[in-house]
Amino acid sequence: MTVVITGASRGIGAGLAEHYRAQGLDVAGTSRSPMGDITLDVTHPSSHTEMAAALGDKPVELLVCNAGVFLDRGDDLETGFGADLWAQSFATNVTGVFLSIQALLPHLRRASNPRIAIISSQMGSSEIASGSSYIYRASKAAALNLGRNLAVDLKDEGIAVGIYHPGWVQTDMGGETAAITVDASVAGLVERFAALNLETTGCFETWDGRPHPY
């Protein structure tokens, strides 16, 4: 079984890669630097083409779209949230997710039980809106919407798509005071990915298995 994880150089992505390797699975973790199994800048279309080529004809059973950025943390409504931050955030958190999936569709189609897991966030929920971080929230809402619609279009091909809130995790993005550890998030996400199937495709769930408000 081959697992591809984008943004696997640190945090949740690195934790997932470590877990699956410990299970004896073939893991391809991507990173913008050469330190990953595969070099991938999710904002560059040509980089996705190179990633797909590096995987050859391997069937990909699980693609985890984890690469993401949070660039507008603490920005002020009057002076912050510059257009460049919008462009960079959507290029990574939305377009990058789509391009990863698009590039690896042939590999997913070769697998016996293909699944796509998109790491979104509770901050992308329209029902749970607490203000601020408008760019990050909007990008994660878009990733959620993307996943929901891909689930519809890919179901007939036997490819299941799940969208997940990984928790508020003690990573560089989440900070040291976050609620849960990387290990706790990874343990829960692994269970969610394993349970994902065509019956549950399009789900938006928390790392610990609760349905999340859209």
Report whether pLDDT(172) > 80: no
Strand arrangement, sheet containing 2-5: 38-39, 26-31, 2-5, 62-65, 115-119, 160-165, 204-206
* Distance (Å, whole) CA 38 – CA 47: 10
Structural domains of the chain ordered from first start? 2-206 (3.40.50.720)
Report whether pLDDT(99) > 70: yes
* Distance (Å, whole) CA 178 – CA 176: 6
Q: Which residues touch 77 (CB under 8 Å, ≥6 apart)?
A: none
- Which band of pLDDT confidence, cut at 50, 70 and 90, is reported for residue 180? confident
Please state the rounded mean pLDDT for residues 192-210: 97
The partner residues of 102 in beta bridges, in order of sequence, read none
Q: How many other C-beta atoms are found inside a 10 Å radius of the C-beta of residue 106?
A: 13
The pLDDT of residue 173: 62
The pLDDT of residue 169: 75
Report whether pLDDT(89) > 90: yes
The pLDDT of residue 178: 61
**pLDDT single digits (tens) 114-156:** 999 999 999 999 998 889 999 999 999 999 999 999 999 999 9
29: enclosing H helix or E strand = strand 26-31
Q: Can you list the alpha helix ranges (DSSP code H) found in the chain?
A: 11-22, 45-54, 83-90, 96-109, 134-155, 182-195
**Where is average pLDDT lowest: 31-40, 141-150, 163-172?**
163-172
Report whether pLDDT(111) > 70: yes
- Which band of pLDDT confidence, cut at 50, 70 and 90, is reported for residue 177? low
- Residue 146: φ, ψ to 5°: -60, -50
Please state the rounded mean pLDDT for residues 13-24: 96
Report DSSP state, residue 199: T
Report whether pLDDT(33) > 70: yes
